[in-house]
Amino acid sequence: MYLYFLRRLLGAVPVLIVVAGIIFALMQLAPGDAVTMLISDEASEADKARIREAWGLDQPPFIQFLNFLGNALTGDFGTSFRYKMPVMDIVLERLPATVELSLAATFIAVLVGIPLGVLAASRPGSFWDGVASAFSFAGISMPNFWLGILLILLFAGHMNILPSGGREPWGMGLDRITGFLIIDSILQGRWDALLATLKHLALPAIVLGTNMMGIITQMTRAAVQDAMHEDFVMTARAKGLSERRVLWRHAFRNAMVGVVTIIGLEFGTLLSGAMIVETVFAWPGIGSLLISGISARDFPLIIGLVLVYTGIFILMNLLIDLFYTLIDPRIRMN
C-alpha cells in the first residue's frame, strides 16, 4: 500500500506542472496588462518598464514559467503583485476559512443527504421517495448565488436572526491559534465567539452544501436500492434479521463505497466552487481571493491558488482510496 501511495504522489508532480503551464498560458493570452494594474494611468513608459523589470515581466513567457517552476520546487510561489506579500503566506492565511466553510457544508449535506437517500431507497415509489427526489433535484439545479441572496433577504433582512456576511463580528477579539474559528473558540473557552462564528457560518454553509446534499441523496438512494437486491440481503432477511438492521448493517454498508467516493469528490468541488458563495457572503477565503487575483491579473497568486486547488483534489483522491480499505477490508491497493 505504501508503494501505491508513493507512486500516486510522484504521479501528481507532472499533473501539477501541466496545470501550472495551462494556467500560465491562459493568463498570458488574456487581454490586458498586469503592469497597468500595478501603477496609475499617469505613469510614464519608463515607469512601466521599471516595474516590468522589477517583477520579471520583461522576460519571455517561457523563461518566466521556468523561473516560477524552479522557485515552486522550494515552496516559493512568488510574491503577489496586488498584496506585495509571498503567495503562500496569503494562501495559508485564507485557506482555513474556506476549509472550515467546506467542512461545515459537507457535514450538513451528509447529515441530511444520507438519511434521506436511505429512507427513499427503503420505500421505493412511496411519498417519501418522491419527497427525497424532488428535494435532491431542487438542490442540484438551484444556483448558489440565487439561493444565497434569497436566504440573506429572509434570515438577515426580514427576520434579522442571522448575519448577512462575513466570518465574524467586528471586535470579537479571538486569538488565531489554528485559523479555524470554531476550534479556536473552543480552545480559548470563548463560547460567545463560538456562537457568533456558527451564526456567520450557517447561511454560507447551507447554500454551499445544498448542491452536494442533492447529489448525495440521489447517490445513496441508487446505491442502497441496488444493494437491497443482492443475495446477501436476501440471506440476512432469511436469518430473521430486522428490516432496519438489514438496511443499515448490510445494504448501506455495502453501498458506502460509492457514497464515500461522491462525498470525497464533491468536497474537492466545494473548495473550488466556493468562489461564488464566498463572494455573495463576503467570506474571506481563497475563493474570493482568487477572484480578486484574476481581477488584478496577479499571475503568481492565481497560479499558486490553482496549484493549491489541484493539490487538494489529488489529496482527496488519495484519502478516498485509503478510506476504501477501512470500510471494505476486501479492497487492497497495489
Per residue in 192-247, pLDDT tens? 999 999 999 999 999 999 988 999 998 888 888 888 877 777 787 788 777 788 88
Cell of 217: 441523496
Average pLDDT over residues 271-280: 82
pTM: 0.83
Mean pLDDT of the chain: 83
Whether residue 330 has pLDDT greater than 70: no
Which range, of 101-115, 205-219, 300-314, averages the lowest pLDDT? 300-314
Average pLDDT over residues 271-291: 85
Average pLDDT over residues 283-288: 88
Which pLDDT belongs to residue 40?
Answer: 64
State the chain's maximal CA–CA distance in angstroms: 86
CA atoms within 13 A on the CB side of 216: 26
Average pLDDT over residues 54-74: 79
Q: pLDDT tier at 41 (50, 70, 90 boundaries)?
A: low
Whether residue 332 has pLDDT greater than 70: no
Whether residue 284 has pLDDT greater than 60: yes
Cβ count near 334 (within 10 Å): 6
Cell of 45: 513608459
Higher pLDDT, 320 or 328: 320
Whether residue 331 has pLDDT greater than 70: no
Sequence-separated (6 or more) residues with CB below 8 Å from residue 292: 82, 298
Higher pLDDT, 284 or 274: 284
Which pLDDT belongs to residue 323?
Answer: 72
Cβ count near 99 (within 10 Å): 19
CA proximity to 304, closest of 24, 12, 82, 101 = 24
Domains of the chain: 14-72 (no CATH), 97-152+208-327 (1.10.3720.10)
Which pLDDT belongs to residue 329?
Answer: 60
Which pLDDT belongs to residue 322?
Answer: 75
% of residues, the chain, pLDDT over 70: 91
Which pLDDT belongs to residue 38?
Answer: 65
Which range, of 142-156, 195-209, 272-286, averages the lowest pLDDT? 272-286
Cβ count near 85 (within 10 Å): 12
First-to-last alpha carbon distance for the chain, in angstroms, is: 6
